[in-house]
Amino acid sequence: MRYLPHTDEDISAMLTSSGVKSLDDLFTSIPRDCRRTGDLKLPKPLTEWELTARIDALSREVASSPEYKIFIGAGSYDHFIPESLSYLLSRSEFVTSYTPYQPEISQGTLQAIYEYQTLTARLLGMEVANASLYDGASALAEAILMSLRITRRNRVALSRLIHPLYRSVVETYLKPTGYEIIELPYLTDGTTDLSSIDDMDDLAAIALQSPNFFGSIEHLRSAAEKAHEKGGLFITSFTEPIAYGLLKNPGVLGADIACGEGQSLGISRSFGGPGLGMLAGKMKYVRNMPGRLVGKTEDSEGKRGFVLTLATREQHIRREKATSNICTNNSLCALAAAMYMASIGGTGIRELAQINYDKSEYLKRELTRTGHRIAFQSPTFNEFVVQFPPHSKHKYDSLIEKKIVAGLPVDRWYPELSDHYLLCCTETMTKDDIDLLVREVNS
C-alpha cells in the first residue's frame, strides 16, 4: 500500500466533485462549540536526520536485551525466535493482508487462522479455539463475560495471583456493568486460597492463572471441581504458554475456558505489544465465544475449503446484539504463533519448557545456597519470587548500572511484599549470565 498525500489539486477536485467549498464545510454537522479551533500543541516537524537521532536517543534510555541481562518475565517473556519466522512473517502476503470481509476469497488467510486454532486447541487441551484476540488481559475479560452470558449469573471470583494488570483490565470491563468481582487471597505457599469459595453462591466463574503471577503452579483440578460444584465455569488464565510443554494443560485439569497471552510463541516483546490473546473453550460454549472462528468444510465439488464460521454473531453484522464487542483478531501475531508452534513441534516445546524450568531451578538453587529466601515454596515454572535483604533497592539500582536487571519488585501491586522480587529465567540466559547475577547480588 502506498501512502501518497493529497495534492492541493486532488483536494480541490474532490471538493468540486462533492459540491462543498472548503474542508471545513464537511464538518458543519458537528456543533460549532464541539469543534477544535486553533492548532494541536505538537512539537515542530523534524527532518529525517533529526528524527533518527531523536529516536536513537530515546531507545538508549531503555534497558533492552541482549545488551542488558533482564531477569524479568511477569507477563512478557524473552524467548529465542527462529529466523525462519521473521522471514516468513515479513512476506507481503501476510504482512499487508487485512481482515477479510469477504473472507472465503482469502483461503490462505483462513487456512493460516485455522491452523493457529488447531495448534492452540492442542496446546491448551481444549476442544475449540477462536481466531485470537488482542492480548492476554482482554482475553481474560472476554472469558469472564462469556461465563456471565452462559450462566446468567452476576458474580465471578478472581485469584489475587492473576497478573495485576489483567485484573485491572477485567475491572475496567466489568465495573460499569454491575457485575461483582470477588478477590481470592493467596496462601503462604504462593498459590490461591480457595477456602472462601465454599461460602459463595451464584458464581458465574472462578478464574485462576497458572503458572500464576508469582510463578507458582496452581492446583487447577481442585479449583475446577469447586467451580463445577457451584454450578459455575472454571477459567484458566496464563501468561506463559510455554509452561504447558511440561505441565498438564488446562483442558486435562477441567478448565471450561482457557485464555491468555501468546507473546511467548514467537512474538518479540517490543516493550509491551502487540500481544496475542489466546482463547479456547469447550465445544458446547462455542456460540458464546467472542470473536471469530474459522472452520474447514467442503465445497459443492467435494474440495476442501475454509470458511469463517459463526461470523453472523459478530459485531459488524449483529451490531449491539453481537456476542461481544470484539470484532477482530490479531492475525499476524496468531500466524507467528502458528509458525512457532509448527516449527518447534510437540517434542520441541517439551524440551524448551524443560530448559526453562531447569535454568530457573538452577538460579533458585544458587540464590538459596547463597542465603537468599525463596518467598513461596510451591513448584514454579520459569519464574519465582525471592526475598532480598531489607533496603535492597540500592543494590538493585547499582546492578542496573552494570546492565543487569535483577527481577521485578512486586510491592507495587502487593504492598505486603516489600523487598520481594519476581525473577524470571528463560532459555535465553546462559549459565554464565545466571552465575553473574548470583555473584553480583551477593557482592
Partner 1 sequence: MKEISELYLPDDVRYAETHEWVKIDDEMVRIGISDYAQDQLGDIVFVELPKVGDTFATGEEFGTVESVKAVSELYIPVGGEVLSINTDLDDAPELVNQDPYHDGWLIEIKPDDLLEVENRMTKEDYMEILEGEE
Q: Which of 84, 177, 196, 312 binds partner 1 (CB under 8 A)?
A: 312
Selected range binding partner 1 among 65-73, 294-302, 309-317, 325-333, rule: CB under 8 A: 309-317
Residues recorded for the chain: 443
DSSP notation for 208-244? EESS-TTSBPP-HHHHHHHHHHTT-EEEEEES-GGGG
Beta bridge partners of 373: 387
Selected range binding partner 1 among 43-51, 80-88, 247-255, 316-324, rule: CB under 8 A: 316-324
| C-alpha grid cell, residue 196 | 472462601
Q: How many residues bind partner 1 (CB under 8 A)?
A: 6
Q: Which of 318, 402, 431, 439 binds partner 1 (CB under 8 A)?
A: 318
Q: Which is nearer to partner 1, 318 or 402 (CB)?
A: 318
The backbone torsions φ and ψ at residue 162, rounded to the nearest 5 degrees and listed phi first, read -75, 145
Q: Which of 2, 41, 321, 394 binds partner 1 (CB under 8 A)?
A: 321
CA atoms within a 13 Å half-sphere pointing along the CA-CB vector of 207: 33
Does residue 319 bind partner 1 (CB under 8 A)? no
Selected range binding partner 1 among 98-106, 128-136, 223-231, 311-319, rule: CB under 8 A: 311-319
Q: Which is nearer to partner 1, 199 or 320 (CB)?
A: 320
Does residue 297 bind partner 1 (CB under 8 A)? no
Q: Which is nearer to partner 1, 322 or 342 (CB)?
A: 322
Min separation Cβ 326 and partner 1, Å: 16
Which residue stretches of 309-420 are H helix? 315-318, 331-369, 393-401
Rounded Cα gap, residues 384 and 361, in angstroms: 9
Please classify residue 37 by burial: count the beta carbons closer than 10 Å to its beta carbon, then call 0-12 exposed, 13-18 middle and 19+ buried.
exposed
Q: Which is nearer to partner 1, 303 or 319 (CB)?
A: 319
Rounded Cα gap, residues 313 and 323, in angstroms: 6
Q: Which is nearer to partner 1, 270 or 297 (CB)?
A: 297
Q: Which of 287, 373, 403, 431 binds partner 1 (CB under 8 A)?
A: 287
Selected range binding partner 1 among 167-175, 215-223, 310-318, 325-333, rule: CB under 8 A: 310-318
Say whether 110 sits in a helix, a strand or coil: helix
Give the CA distances from residue 215 to residues 190, 384, 385, in Å, rounded to whole numbers and listed in that order. Answer: 8, 5, 7
Min separation Cβ 102 and partner 1, Å: 13
Q: Which of 317, 345, 365, 403 binds partner 1 (CB under 8 A)?
A: 317
Task: Kindly state the helix (H) or strand (E) to which residue 59 belongs, with its residue range.
Answer: helix 48-60
CA atoms within a 13 Å half-sphere pointing along the CA-CB vector of 201: 0
Which residues of this chain interact with partner 1, rule CB under 8 A?
Answer: 287, 312-313, 317-318, 321
